[in-house]
Every structure is written in structure tokens, then in C-alpha cells.
A and B are shown apart, each in its own frame.
Chain A
Amino acid sequence: MKWGTWLAAALSGLIWNSALAGEGVQSSCEGCHIEAAAAFGRSAMSRAASTSTFLAEWKHKGEDKACLACHAPSGGAGVQCRDCHVGSDHPFSKLDVPNVCASCHDAPGELTVRSFLRSEALKDGYGCLDCHTESRGGDVHDITGPSRAEFLTRVGRLRVSVATGPQGDVAVVSISHSAGHALPGGTSGRAVWLVVEGLDDVGVAVWRALTRFGWEYASDGGWTDKTLKPNRTAIVEIGDLHRAGARKLRTSLVYQFTAGEYDAPEAVHEQMDQVEISFPSTKP
């Protein structure tokens, strides 16, 4: 071995050992695992402690360090290599999915992994990374999810029927999704909203009915899981469709990343699906 090569190897070993001891873990991994590091750098996980959504919530909470246990366990802008690739000897063993995910995605107030373990997706042999990675050339570090454009449009599906009952027309909305876990995944602040609007002749909403799916808290009943379960269709019925001169029904399934109300100024939404139905002109 030439001196230069030996020196480089020795230095890289020194750097690696230094990295294992603490600081510089991320940079030491990137030195060799260039593609994996670049791929993970594109993921929202790598920015989990620096997104505007997180920072707003964190500030609201008084910048509680407990939040960082999942959002930036090793400090920095988000999750880092060694937060998931645990172990003391390099090369590290293959990730124990979904258990390694559960350390954060099965935290109090979140049941993503728990619901996955009861899903048909698991029975069919699917794992977390089958849906949550943009595999390029076999590399699986580009972790993807609802924050990625068009990811959610593949997940949620609405069907709407209008039927005539004793009390008049009723819209029956069914919501199904292909996620292998409860929807929304993630922490309890996220929500999926069903937004049903009656539109007038020129398309202006004259009434609106909101249904929230996610975690709820009632002062007398504590926390309730009202998420959309995997492999189960949720059904919402809405009557009095023609009120206020409505001539059309617009039904939207909307993912909300931010905590709080649907109309909150800081709310960040992503539409998952939308269906419009016109009423017959003979209806009152």
C-alpha cells in the first residue's frame, strides 16, 4: 500500500472512530455512502426539525426538547443516519423494519405502526419501505410520504351517491384509502378532512359540512382515535342538500399537516381526492 493510500485509509478510520464517538456522524457516513446520503437528504425526515410546520408547533409548545427526541434525536435539522442505523460495529446490520420505525411512529398519540401490524398490507407481505421510499437503483434512503407531491393523490379515494330517502335527498360519501396504516399517520395534530359543499348555480359554496378524521380530545372522555383505519371504508351521510339554493355537490378529501382547525390561517392542506355531482334540474 502506497503512503498516500495508507494515510487516507488511516484518516478515514480516525474520522469514522471520531464519528462513532459523537459529532460528525452524518458527514462521516456521507463520505462513503454518497448516494444513500443524497437520497435521504431529499426526504422530509432529514428536515424533521426544521420545517415551518414543526417550528411553528415547537414554538407554540415553548420549544420543548422532548419533541426533538424524534424530530432530531442527534441534533441538527432532522433525523440522521445513526438515529435508525443503530449498533456499535460498522457495517451496521440491516434495519429492523418496522420496529425501528416504531420508536417514533408508534409514540403516544400515534398508532401508525400499531395499525400497520393489524392491516391486510402486512398479511400481504408489504413493509413500510414498499410505499415509503422512492427507490432509485436499489437505494431505499429517499423516504417519501405525504409531504411529497402527488403522494397523497394515490392514497385516498371518495365515492359519492345521492339517494332519496324519507327526509329528502341524502349524500352518502364513502372514504377508502390504500395506506397500510391508520390515516393520517404521524402525530395527533394531523388530520384528514372530508369537506362537503353545496354550490349554487355559479359554483359558489352556499353551505359546507366538515368531518374530521384524526385524534380527538373531549374534556369528559379524553383522547379518542378517529383516524381512518386501514382496509375499512368510512361512511358519512349528509342531508338537506338543496338548502340555500345549492345545485351542485362538491366533495373533497383534504389532508391537513398542521394542527388546529380547518380554517386556521396557518393551516397547510393537500387535496387527496375530489368529486362533483350536479343535481337534476327538476329538483327543488
Chain B
Amino acid sequence: MKYALPLAVMVMMFSAGIGVAGGGVATLSEFGFLIEQVKKNTGEVYVIDLRDRAAYLSGTVPGAVHVGPSPDGYIGDGRGGAVLVIADGDTSADILEAWHDRLVTFGHDPIYFLEGGFASWVNHDGPVKSPVDTSAVPGKFPFIIPRGLCEMNTPAKVYP
């Protein structure tokens, strides 16, 4: 594990009322819970990745969306719920605190931070996937919309 979340950050989070039971720094047992939720893709935990674009593209938690390092300008959909924050192990306490405050604004609760960052997720055998495998691009590639199973060999329409 290349990084352990600074004790000062952990104290800050617990004092802010986001202890283990309601999110905060994920404990060993919560790693298991989070991994299970991600594997089953239950939709119960929203996963955001703060790392740089290259790190995100090279592999992240399945289903994670890339929101970049800064919480400034971040807008959530207001649906709240649990959120798992993926960050580098050396992300500053100030940044994590700012993200916490921003996510609370959009109703997220609990908010999970991984002690040790993404490397810790990997060390706990959490699943990792390239987001490229699951991403789609709107209307970019010309393709033919099939007319149906019975026309498998004679598609009728070119898109877009």
C-alpha cells in the first residue's frame, strides 16, 4: 500500500459526523461490502474517480465515472445515495474535504473514501476494469439500424 490516508484527515471526517457507520474512511469490512456492491452492479453505490484522466482510462472501479480532481463546478443529479470516492493515495486532505462537502450538497450519504486510495482497492482484490470497455459515444460511428431479427441479413437504415 503506497499511501495511508493521513490521520488528520480521518480525524476531520469522523469529527464531521461521517464515521464508519455512515461512510467516511472505508474499513476492512466495508471494503467487502463495497466490492460486493460493485460486482453485482446494484446501483446502490455511485462511484466517482478523481484521479487524472490517464489513470482512470488505464483501469478503475467498474462503473466509476470520471469527474476530475476538483470539486469546483461539479454538479450532481440530486438523487443522492451512497457514493464511493476513488482518489490517488496522495490526494490532499483539503481536496478530499472539499469533495465531501460538495457531495453532501447533492444529497450523497454515506460517502466512502478508501484509506490508501485506489491502490488499496486493488490490494483488497477489488475489481478493476477499463472504462473504455463500457463506454459509448453518442452518434459517432455510422451504423445501420436493423429492422429486426427477420431482417438480420438485410438491414434497412443507415445511421446517422
User: A residues within 8 Å of B by Cβ?
Assistant: 57-58, 60-61, 64, 66-67, 107-110, 120, 157-165, 169, 172, 174, 176, 178, 187-189, 191, 194, 196, 209-219, 223-224, 226, 230-238, 259-261, 275, 277, 279-280
Query: Contact between A57 and B150 (Cβ–Cβ < 8 Å)?
Result: yes
Instruction: Kindly count the residue-residue contacts between A and B in the assembled complex, taking CB atoms under 8 Å apart.
Output: 165
Minimal Cβ-Cβ distance residue in B for A219: B144
3 closest cross-chain pairs (CB), A and B: A189-B148, A164-B73, A233-B63
Q: Please report the C-alpha to C-alpha distance between residue A224 and residue B142 in the assembled complex, in whole angstroms.
A: 12
A176: contacting residue among B41, B131, B136, B144, CB under 8 A: B41
The reply to whether B65 and A66 contact each other, CB–CB distance below 8 Å, is no
Chain B residues with a Cβ under 8 A of chain A: 39-41, 43, 46, 48, 53, 62-63, 65-68, 70, 72-79, 131, 134-139, 141-152, 155-157, 159-160
Q: How far is the CA of A194 from the CA of B77 in the complex (A)?
A: 16
Closest chain-B Cβ to A212's Cβ sits at a distance in Å of: 7
Residues of A contacting B147 in the complex (Cβ-Cβ under 8 angstroms): 57, 60-61, 189, 259-260
Give CA–CA (A236, B156) in the complex, Å: 26
Contact call A159/B157, Cβ cutoff below 8 A: no
Given the interface pairs A216-B144, A260-B156, the reply to whether A236 lies near B138 with Cβ below 8 Å is yes
The CA of A67 and the CA of B141, in the complex, are separated in Å by 30
CB of B43 within 8 A of CB of A213, answer: no
In contact, B63 and A161 (Cβ under 8 angstroms) = no
Which A residues lie within 8 Å of B149 (CB)? Answer: 67, 107-110, 187-189
Contact present for A120 and B41 (CB under 8 Å): yes
Cα A117 to Cα B62 with chains together (Å): 20
Give the one of B74, B150, B157 with max A CB within 10 A: B150
Chain A residues with CB under 8 A of B67: 161, 163, 172
Most buried by A among B39, B62, B65, B70: B65
